[in-house]
Every structure is written in C-alpha cells, then in structure tokens.
Amino acid sequence: MCASGDTIRNIMLAAHRQGMTNGDYAFFNIELFNSSSYGNGSWRRGDKHDLEAKKAYSYLQTVTLLRTVKPEFEKFSLEVKSSVQKQGLHEDDYANMFVEGFHDAILLYALALQEVLKFGFSKKDGEKIVQQTRNRTYEGIAGQVSIDANGDRYGDFSVIGMTDPETGTQEVIGDYYGKQGRFEIRSNVKYPWNHGRLRLDESRVSEHTNNTPCKSCGLGESAVTGIVVGALLGAGLLMAFYFFRKKYRITIERRTRQEDCNMGKHRQLREDSIRSHFSAA
C-alpha cells in the first residue's frame, strides 16, 4: 500500500474487521517521506478505534527511508528547528526528507566543486562538476550517500514493525542498503514475525511439494495451463477467421465489380451492334 497515514489506518481497520489480521496475511505500507505532515505510520489517533488499530498494525510493516541514529542528524534537526522558529514558523516536522536531501545535495556539490578547482578548472565548468558527482560515496547528514554512474542516488530504506503488541511499540526492525543490495535485521529489536502471529500453512506447502492437487487452492496447475492454452488457441482462431473473412469479402467485392464491368461492356457492345444493324437496314 502507498497512501496517507489516515488512509492506511482506515484500510487496516477494515482488514481487521474482516478477520484478515489473524495470522494469514501480512501487510506492507510504503511511507517514503519520514515526515509527520504525511503521516508518521502510527496507529494512535486518540479516538475510539485506537485499540482496534493497535491490533491491526501488529501485522503491518512500513517501508520508509533509512532511519538514522547518528548524533549529527539530531544536532542538525535541532539547528533546523531553531532557524525555522526564528522566522516565526511553527511546524510539526522540521528536518524531513526534503531538508535532508537539500543538505546532502549541497554537500555533494561542494565536494565536486572542490575537486574541480583542485584540477585547475573553474566553477563555470559545469560538465566537469557533474562528472565529479558520479560514482562516489560520501558521508551525508543521515549516513552514507552513494551515487551511481548515472548520477542517481542509491536508495537506503528501513522497515518498521510493531515489536510489542501489548504496548503497540513500533520500531525499525531492519535496514536495506541499496549499494550493497543487503538487508540487515537489527539485533537490538525483536523481529515481529517470531511471535507466532504469522502462521505458515504446512499442509499447503507439503501438497505443492509433492505435486499433488491442492483442494483449497482453487484451480490446479493443469487447469490453469489448459485455460491459458485454450485462450491462446481461441484468440488465434478468431484472428484467423477475421483475416479470412476480410480477405474473402475483398475477393467477392473485386469479382462483383469485375462482373459489373464486364456486363456493362457486353451491354454496350450489344447496343452498338443493334444500332449498326438498324443503320445498315
């Protein structure tokens, strides 16, 4: 799912009321803003549905941008907050992904410009500066930032899950590092699926492993294959019939026009012949 925090909460409440939060399903939400303006992924709203929402969210995993624990980021957040408040602005979140992204982008530009100047070029050599921004890794305000050969940033993400169903505590349970293509479970938290809340139906696994039909799984593989092949053959026959009909119709029309033309010529010849006989008489 990918929607606002309130929409996700409504979906999870509906799923809970339909009995879909009993261990047979897992839900994943994408929340890439790291900002309370878009919803912080919490189930708590202070209304009468909080208890239901807490139970429902125990089966929800939220994929978000990498959540950093660097002290530098905390300091940066406080500085941004202080600067914004001096301007007379009061928001719920100050150091969101946009502010963080601008910070790291300016830092990348400064590093690239420094190297370009060191090689004897100037700040007007934009192409050289762009080249220096690619294929590099540097330390951003929230962690390492890696840029690939196309100038795109590798995505680093975190997965948030409910680690304590009783209190409804949600924590980062794992992190994905885009450059290495590696997913790591954090060692200091309890992995939510270890509590037995998500159950694996062993009977279905064994049935599929033994290649025996699964009565509870609907159509078997052979039935699905037959449907697909039948659909392809049916489509082929329809196309063949369409083109045959089209070609046959064109042939008939050509013959009809040719016959009409021949009849016209024959009629004209007969009229000319009769007219010549009358003239001779």
180 and 242 belong to one structural domain:
no
Q: Does any domain span residue 211? A: no
Judge if 166 and 251 occupy the same domain. Answer: no
Q: Are residues 116 and 9 in the same domain?
A: yes
55 lies in the same domain as 128: yes
For strands 27-30 and 136-139, give the pairing. Answer: unpaired
184 in a domain, yes or no?
Answer: yes
Q: What is the pLDDT of residue 26?
A: 87
Q: Do 24 and 95 belong together in one domain?
A: yes
- The predicted pLDDT at position 198 comes to 46
DSSP β-bridge partners for residue 138: 145
**pLDDT at residue 85, rounded to an integer:** 83
- Predicted local distance difference test score (pLDDT) of residue 10: 95
Domain assignment present for 235? yes
Residue type for 94, please?
Answer: Y
Q: Which residues of the chain have pLDDT under 70?
A: 33-40, 69, 91-95, 191-281
- Asked if 199 and 25 count as a contact pair (C-beta separation under 8 A), the reply is no
Helices 71-86 and 97-118, packing angle to 10 deg = 110
Using CA atoms, how far residue 240 sits from 34, 186, 231, 236, 249, in Å, is: 56, 59, 14, 6, 14
What pTM did the predictor assign? 0.59
Q: Are residues 152 and 247 in the same domain?
A: no
Residue 217 lies in a domain: no
Does the residue 212 lie in any domain?
Answer: no
Its domain, for residue 147, covers: 5-206
Contact 69, 142 (CB under 8 A): no
Identify whether 149 is part of a domain.
yes
- Tell me, yes or no, whether 41 and 174 share the same domain: yes
Residues 6+ positions from 178 with CB-CB distance below 8 Å: 146, 154, 155, 156, 157
Distance CA 28, CA 240 (A): 45
**Strand order through the sheet with 156-164:** 27-30, 60-65, 156-164, 169-177, 182-185
* Residue 154 sits in the same domain as residue 254: no
Same domain, 185 and 261: no
Q: Residue 132 belongs to a domain with what CATH number?
A: 3.40.50
| The predicted structure's pLDDT at residue 261 | 64
* Count of domains observed in the chain: 2
* Domain-ending residue, one of 162, 180, 206: 206
Query: Are residues 85 and 185 located together in one domain of the fold?
Result: yes
